[in-house]
Structure 1
Amino acid sequence: MSIANDITPPSPGPRAEALLQPGHNCWRIEQAERFAVIIDAADYFIAVRQAMLAAKHSIYLIGWDFDARIRLGDGGDGGPVALGDFILWLARRTPSLNIRLLRWDTGAFKAIFRGGTIFSIIRWKLNKQIRLKLDGEHPLAGSHHQKIVVIDDRIAFCGGIDMTLGRWDTRRHLDDDPQRVGPNGEKLKPWHDATSAFDGPLARAMGDLARQRWRAATGEVLTPETATHDCWPAALRPNFHNIRLAIARTIPKMPDRKPVAEIEQIYLDLIARAKKWIYAESQYFASRRVAQAIAKRLAERDGPEIVILNPVSAEGWIEPIAMDSARARLVEALRRIDHQGRFRLYHPLTKGGNEIYVHAKITIVDGVYLRLGSSNFNNRSLRLDTECDVILPAHEADNQDGELHFMPLLHDLLAEHFDRTADEIAALFAQCGSLIGTIETLREAATGRSLTPYQLPDLGGVKEWLADNEILDPEGPDEIFEPLSRRSLFKGWRWPAFRRR
């Protein structure tokens, strides 16, 4: 990733109140000796494979889904390529190693019958070093959605990439990549995703989080590791060194467990704090609370530009009805408020004009705040599912190095979406001085990959009713059973004064 940058990000100033507040919008603030942003699964699978090769004592794989059939990066280390075989090989190779896999229970029932998955599970069960458990510690209709890997408490990965079918892609997002195929040779669509890697005390904290989740799902109490060896993958170049950052969570309300909505609060605080611009990539845009916070900023005379990247349509058979319909209603409302044209929603396309599915969950604010994790801009992520994000502040938590900012990451992401170099993006951004202006200039000149504006669809009466009543994307476990007369996508929405008139 290029580190060229011609714009000095705005500083919150020495008297500004700190963003990160444990117990309010984050869980813990810890130091990472090394931190890397990993874009797209081709690079992630290689990095996580190399890190697991260094494991001596424990590996936690905490995820929404695992598919034993996927190819886990380029081998060359003597081990099998497929994830299921590789995990078994690791256990046999290192007798002191314990591997624990925790995945969402509801999704597992269908996954068991995929290809040879059942045979991989049987082989794992026969090895005492491997433990596969299903996470059912969630409300009705909720899911375990975290995507965490922790190795010996020495390195951790946290983001949006699942080790499952359909996630692998390179940053080129070719229209017809011969390597982007399923186990049976079926062609898979282009896929954009992101995660992070870090070590130091922050990795140990993520180990604590993994053990907490394991205990919640299984009842088993595990102790931290005391290893001192280095697990950092040779293929991964850190973006930052010796920085402090935070972990934020969503834990839904349960009969014996207090809810945690740190991620929702950090979203609202980031939106409120933005001075110049907000850039976000999310699988969904369906959260009423996030849209309310955006509406408040759009109503200001000198508020920030806000750019969100979404897939053209949500994946699955029921998600488009819920998420796409809610997105249309929220965007329609925001456009009525956005008199200065500061809000944009785009979709990334390949050179051939095909959709690149956005599964990344990244937020960058003014180049001085970065959030990356498993959560999306939807109600489930903020109240109903279990989620985990990391937040990096450039000027807080003892991060006072003037060189620490996230403009290079923004340049790098836009370079990927427009088939340009990061240096070209940095120069154009410096010249233009506007996030939306930079994107629109790139769109006009695009000859390869590009971003296309979101077009409001015509919603039928049923879809509009489903969206307005949040039938398939409730805000929490209690709202699932809330009477329809009390539901509304715009519940609590305070329209700006000029709109009410």
Structure 2
Amino acid sequence: MARADRAAVIVDAAAYFVHLKAAVLRARHSILLIGWDFDARIELDRSGEAPTSVPNRIGRLLDHAVRRSPGLRVYVLRWDLAFLKMPFRGTTPFFLLEWLGGHRLHFHLDRHHPPSACHHQKIAVIDDAVAFCGGIDVTGGRWDTPAHRDREPRRTWPGGAPHGPWHDVTMAVDGEAARALGDLARERWFAANGWRPDPPPPCTGCWPDGLEPTFRDTDVSIARTQPAYDGLPEVREIEALYLAAIASARRSIYLESQYFAAHRVGEALERRLLEPDGPEVVVINPERAIGWLEGEVMGAARALLVRRLREADRHDRLRFCTPVTAGGRAIYVHAKVLVVDDALLRIGSSNVNNRSMGVDTECDLAIEVRSHDARAPELRAAILRVRDGLLAEHLGVSRDAFGAALRAADGSLVRALDSLAQPSGRTLVRFEPSDLSELERELGSTHALDPHRPEPMSRTFVRSLRLLPLVPPALAALGAGALAWLFWRGRTRRVAEE
């Protein structure tokens, strides 16, 4: 837990990319970018008003920042196996930039994790003076505005091809909280590369102009997931935070996540729904996960969990919804947000799946209102503004309109949502899980490929063989080859370590 003079919730990547660019241009000592994926070709400011004298693509911008500030060093750390999912991402320019930038621009791949895990944190730290942490990767397919228009010419991949609507959230902090995230980023760099970047001297003035703080002078908690590996202890702070937060809820639980497959989180929600006077639960999820494998593995587990929650919802306090555009197109939800009553806000990289609880490296930020805090009413109001703003965005109404609906519903989140949901247009629609085959049902109930803890690649390979009846032949051959390569890679790594 560390103090932040300012903390700001940033909704959707259009705003985040602009603020990240502004912070990078103010850096004088160090920039740490720790992520699941990076694409050097990403255009940051797409407003049409960006000055042409400053590079707008993240790779060229970092090179520009290093060249104009002799004391600046840049460190970019990316998961080493992201290429298996996206083999044509713009990673090569980072290698070229490292070569051109000499000893002051470093790009490395993070492979310091169990063979079945991945590095999933999304952190950017500028001079230890401002830091961003949340769900947004600086990569392709992420950019969008809160309008989530059906036709948005700026919403394109680096090559120019359009991509669909995308909803995401991150948080910016300064002060001690930024320095704490800088320490965490340097520890991750050390774990991945064997040497630790020097921390910068005390510095201020990196907060982006135009980024209005959501909170001032508040404590920010940093929660992590870290699998036990190579001397590092297991850390399951994020799972503990989810379970404690759900248990503490009095009136409402609001949750946004890319997946909904963590069975312990699902069971905790089920217990609260069974209570006669328990909290209301609103879950925002995408219509379907991106990718065949995620759709099968996470989709099957979600279908089972949703059915369990609806069976437990004897008091009509659950709404499980998907946002759509004005034209009815599904908006992909990549955000990872939890709001409990007016008392807790959590934003980070962790999804509601088992991997995020104990297998992949994750980092979340949380702000909690404590009863003895003299500024508790101010903090509570700020937390509700974040929650209500997100729901207003999804429903296609103003925050004032949502506030009026909430007051008319005597503070009931689900009744306010019901009153504003429309049969068509920009709105939230009820999620309906698809029927599952026996194999899909078994896949979802056994948590195959979404384990609670890292498992040997041999076990993952055996589990994956059970998917073959569901897979098209060409995809099955490709997947079997990839899994065999991962199995071989894990074995050779263990031999080398021994």
TM-score (norm 2): 0.88
**What is the CA–CA distance in structure 2 between the aligned matches of 1:475 and 1:183, rounded to whole Å?**
35
Percent identity over the alignment is 45
**What is the CA–CA distance in structure 2 between the aligned matches of 1:455 and 1:57, rounded to whole Å?**
50
Q: Which secondary structure does the structure 2 equivalent of 1:165 belong to?
A: coil
Q: Residues 394 and 481 of structure 1: is their aligned pair in 2 closer, same or farther, counting only changes over 3 Å?
A: farther
Using the TM superposition, give the Cα deviation of residue 121 of structure 1 relative to its aligned residue in structure 2, in angstroms: 2.2
**What is the CA–CA distance in structure 2 between the aligned matches of 1:153 and 1:118, rounded to whole Å?**
27
1:308-327 counterparts in 2 under 5 A?
308-327=283-302
Partner of 2:394 in structure 1? 417
Q: Residues 132 and 111 of structure 1: is their aligned pair in 2 closer, same or farther, counting only changes over 3 Å?
A: farther
Which of the residues 416, 420, 425 maps onto 1:438?
A: 416
Which of the residues 441, 464, 468 maps onto 2:441?
A: 464
Partner of 1:191 in structure 2? 166
**What is the CA–CA distance in structure 2 between the aligned matches of 1:64 and 1:154, rounded to whole Å?**
23
Using the TM superposition, give the Cα deviation of residue 251 of structure 1 relative to its aligned residue in structure 2, in angstroms: 0.3
The one-letter amino acid paired with 1:378 is: N
Using the TM superposition, give the Cα deviation of residue 380 of structure 1 relative to its aligned residue in structure 2, in angstroms: 0.6
Q: Residues 151 and 119 of structure 1: is their aligned pair in 2 closer, same or farther, counting only changes over 3 Å?
A: closer
Aligned 8 A contact 2:59 2:93 in 1: no
Q: Which secondary structure does the structure 2 equivalent of 1:81 belong to?
A: coil
Using the TM superposition, give the Cα deviation of residue 108 of structure 1 relative to its aligned residue in structure 2, in angstroms: 4.0
The one-letter amino acid paired with 1:430 is: R
Aligned 8 A contact 1:151 1:231 in 2: yes
Partner of 1:12 in structure 2? none
**What is the CA–CA distance in structure 2 between the aligned matches of 1:160 and 1:236, rounded to whole Å?**
18
Which of the residues 38, 51, 69 maps onto 2:41?
A: 69
Using the TM superposition, give the Cα deviation of residue 113 of structure 1 relative to its aligned residue in structure 2, in angstroms: 4.1
Q: Please list the CA deviations of residues 444-473 of structure 1 after superposition, one character each: whole Å capped at 9, or x if unmatched.
A: 4x7641000011211112211211121121
Aligned 8 A contact 1:418 1:448 in 2: no
Which of the residues 53, 57, 64 maps onto 2:25?
A: 53
**What is the CA–CA distance in structure 2 between the aligned matches of 1:319 and 1:236, rounded to whole Å?**
35
1:152-301 counterparts in 2 under 5 A?
152-301=127-276
Aligned 8 A contact 2:115 2:456 in 1: no
Aligned 8 A contact 1:287 1:379 in 2: yes
Aligned 8 A contact 1:393 1:399 in 2: no
Aligned 8 A contact 1:244 1:397 in 2: no
Q: Please list the CA deviations of residues 368-394 of structure 1 after superposition, one character each: whole Å capped at 9, or x if unmatched.
A: 210000001100100000000011012
The one-letter amino acid paired with 2:255 is: A
Partner of 1:474 in structure 2? 451
Q: Residues 132 and 396 of structure 1: is their aligned pair in 2 closer, same or farther, counting only changes over 3 Å?
A: farther
Q: Which secondary structure does the structure 1 equivalent of 2:352 belong to?
A: coil
Q: Which secondary structure does the structure 2 equivalent of 1:79 belong to?
A: coil
Partner of 1:354 in structure 2? 329
Using the TM superposition, give the Cα deviation of residue 112 of structure 1 relative to its aligned residue in structure 2, in angstroms: 6.4
**What is the CA–CA distance in structure 2 between the aligned matches of 1:78 and 1:148, rounded to whole Å?**
27
Q: Which secondary structure does the structure 2 equivalent of 1:318 belong to?
A: helix
The one-letter amino acid paired with 1:424 is: A
Aligned 8 A contact 2:300 2:440 in 1: yes
Q: Does 1:133 align with 2:108?
A: yes
Which of the residues 345, 349, 352 maps onto 1:370?
A: 345
Which one is further off, 332-341 or 167-176? 332-341
Q: Does 1:329 align with 2:301?
A: no
Structure 1: state its 5+ residue gaps: 1-28, 486-501
The one-letter amino acid paired with 2:403 is: A
Q: Please list the CA deviations of residues 75-131 of structure 1 after superposition, one character each: whole Å capped at 9, or x if unmatched.
A: 3272111111111111112111100000101114665644x6424422332312110
Higher helix share: 2
Q: Which has the higher contact order (CA 8 A, sep 6+)?
A: 1
The one-letter amino acid paired with 1:461 is: E
**What is the CA–CA distance in structure 2 between the aligned matches of 1:130 and 1:112, rounded to whole Å?**
23
**What is the CA–CA distance in structure 2 between the aligned matches of 1:409 and 1:119, rounded to whole Å?**
37
How many residues are paired up? 455
Q: Does 1:32 align with 2:9?
A: no
Partner of 1:453 in structure 2? 430
**What is the CA–CA distance in structure 1 between the aligned matches of 2:359 and 2:38, rounded to whole Å?**
21
Q: Which secondary structure does the structure 2 equivalent of 1:189 belong to?
A: coil
Q: Please list the CA deviations of residues 414-441 of structure 1 after superposition, one character each: whole Å capped at 9, or x if unmatched.
A: 1211221111111111110211111111
Which one is further off, 53-62 or 175-184? 175-184
Using the TM superposition, give the Cα deviation of residue 274 of structure 1 relative to its aligned residue in structure 2, in angstroms: 0.2
Partner of 1:106 in structure 2? 81
Q: Does 1:118 align with 2:92?
A: yes
Partner of 1:26 in structure 2? none
Which of the residues 370, 378, 387 maps onto 1:395?
A: 370
Partner of 1:407 in structure 2? 384
Q: Which secondary structure does the structure 1 equivalent of 2:81 belong to?
A: helix
Using the TM superposition, give the Cα deviation of residue 366 of structure 1 relative to its aligned residue in structure 2, in angstroms: 0.5
Q: Which secondary structure does the structure 1 equivalent of 2:366 belong to?
A: strand
**What is the CA–CA distance in structure 1 between the aligned matches of 2:91 and 2:458, rounded to whole Å?**
36
**What is the CA–CA distance in structure 2 between the aligned matches of 1:233 and 1:400, rounded to whole Å?**
25
Q: Which secondary structure does the structure 1 equivalent of 2:28 belong to?
A: coil
Considering only aligned residues, what root-mean-square deviation do their CA atoms show, in Å? 1.9
Aligned 8 A contact 2:42 2:58 in 1: yes
**What is the CA–CA distance in structure 1 between the aligned matches of 2:234 and 2:319, rounded to whole Å?**
33
Partner of 1:14 in structure 2? none
Q: Residues 117 and 371 of structure 1: is their aligned pair in 2 closer, same or farther, counting only changes over 3 Å?
A: closer
Using the TM superposition, give the Cα deviation of residue 338 of structure 1 relative to its aligned residue in structure 2, in angstroms: 1.7
Partner of 1:429 in structure 2? 406
The one-letter amino acid paired with 1:418 is: L
